């Protein structure tokens, strides 16, 4: 009976278990790239190409920037997972990541991230231009070496300066079309730069215990809720004002500043509601910080959609 059972198991294994294991491995490597974060980065890349082209950008260039930009972001995220594999195991929000669950080996993640980085840099260099390729490589190195390895575990200002890497897709998209930089992408760089801290801090307010357990000094871990909210308000005001600066700098139609102003008012309303709930005696999850987190995602997506539409109306 035992022999028959073993034979049955051996017969089933190649047909059922092997394909499932390969699928799980592929899925795990894809998860290393953090696809949801990549989506957010691409939302800021494509619209800038419309603005740079003054309308519809060249199809081949757009596809190349989006494809190799995806590989670039995937490289940075995979290498970040490699660096953060120890603290990811301690945080409820990240403990299901592939390295934390031992679905991928650290060596495999490191090689995967490096290969993606090489492919993305070479691909942008060949299909677009050297400036776009160098900006992409710089974003990877900054995110991994400066943010992940230095800032994240040492200072509460980690996301303020580490967020620079997340601003680079704006510059890459512009450079991919024009082969140079200008004031317009710098303004949009500023929008993403000022937007990143309050967006991340409200998420960190929700998962404060996670960051504390991992000994990551995010601002909500080391500061009072009032300070976090007040700084979030200040950065949100800076985001909205910076977004309006694109009108005179890029010479947009009236469509852009009107929509940007409406979106800005709604975003400011939501962040000030956080302060209102705090003043009313709410604290912790009762502050509902994730409301602002989700709205800030929508704000950035809609703002950059407006950036893409405006040149089509000129």
Beta carbons within 10 angstroms of residue 27's beta carbon: 11
* pLDDT for the residue numbered 25: 87
* pLDDT for the residue numbered 23: 82
Q: Give the span between the Cα atoms of 294 and 109, in whole angstroms.
A: 30
Average confidence (pLDDT) per 10 residues, the chain, 314 residues: 40 37 88 90 94 96 96 97 93 89 94 98 97 98 96 95 94 96 97 97 94 94 97 98 97 97 97 96 93 96 97 93
| Long-range CB contact pairs, 209-215, < 8 A, 24+ | 209/92, 210/90, 210/91, 210/92, 210/93, 210/94, 211/91, 213/90, 213/91, 214/87, 214/90, 214/91, 215/87, 215/153
Q: Which of 298, 147, 294, 174 minimizes the C-alpha distance to 246?
A: 174
* pLDDT for the residue numbered 231: 98
What string of DSSP letters covers the chain?
-HHHHHHHHHHHIIIIIHHHHHHHHHHHHHHHT-HHHHHHHHHHHHHHHHHHHTSSPPHHHHHHHHHHHHHHHHHHHHHHHHHTHHHHTT-TTTTTSTTTTTSS-HHHHHHHHHHHHHHHHHHHHHHT-HHHHHHHHHHHHIIIIIIIIIITTT-TTHHHHHTHHHHHHHHHHHHHHHSS--HHHHHHHHHHHHHHHHHHHHHHHHTHHHHHHTT---HHHHS-HHHHHHHHHHHHHHHHHHHHTHHHHHT--THHHHHHHHHHHHHHHHHHHHHHHHHTT--GGGG-HHHHHHHHHHHHHHHHHHHHHHHHH-
* pLDDT for the residue numbered 17: 33
* pLDDT for the residue numbered 164: 95
* pLDDT for the residue numbered 2: 39
* pLDDT for the residue numbered 13: 36
Q: Are 184 and 256 in contact (CB under 8 A)?
A: no
* pLDDT for the residue numbered 19: 37
């Amino acid at each position: 009976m035992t022999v028959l059972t073993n034979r049955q198991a051996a017969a089933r294994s190649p047909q059922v278990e092997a394909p499932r294991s390969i699928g799980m491995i592929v899925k795990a490597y894809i998860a290393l790239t953090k696809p949801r974060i990549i989506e957010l980065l691409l939302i800021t890349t494509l619209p800038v190409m419309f603005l740079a082209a003054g309308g519809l950008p060249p199809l081949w260039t757009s596809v190349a920037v989006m494809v190799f930009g995806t590989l670039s972001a995937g490289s940075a995220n995979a290498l970040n997972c490699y660096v953060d594999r120890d603290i990811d195991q301690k945080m409820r929000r990240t403990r299901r990541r592939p390295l934390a669950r031992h679905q991928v080996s650290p060596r495999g993640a490191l090689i995967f991230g490096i290969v993606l980085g090489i492919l993305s840099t070479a691909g942008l260099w060949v299909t677009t231009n050297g400036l776009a390729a160098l900006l992409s490589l710089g974003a990877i190195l900054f995110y991994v070496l400066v943010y992940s390895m230095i800032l994240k575990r040492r200072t509460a200002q980690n996301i303020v300066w580490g967020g620079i890497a997340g601003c680079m897709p704006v510059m890459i998209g512009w450079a991919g079309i024009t082969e140079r930089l200008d004031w317009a992408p710098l303004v949009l760089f500023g929008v993403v730069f000022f937007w990143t801290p309050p967006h991340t801090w409200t998420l960190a307010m929700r998962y404060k215990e996670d960051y504390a357990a991992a000994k990551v000094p995010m601002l909500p871990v080391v500061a009072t809720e009032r300070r976090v909210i007040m700084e979030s308000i200040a950065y949100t005001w800076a985001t909205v004002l910076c977004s309006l600066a694109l009108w005179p700098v890029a010479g947009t139609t009236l469509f852009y500043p009107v929509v940007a102003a409406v979106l800005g008012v709604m975003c400011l309303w939501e962040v000030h509601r956080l302060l209102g709930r705090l003043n009313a005696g709410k604290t912790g999850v009762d502050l509902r910080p994730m409301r602002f987190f989700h709205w800030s995602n929508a704000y950035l997506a809609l703002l950059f959609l407006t950036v893409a539409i405006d040149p089509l109306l000129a």
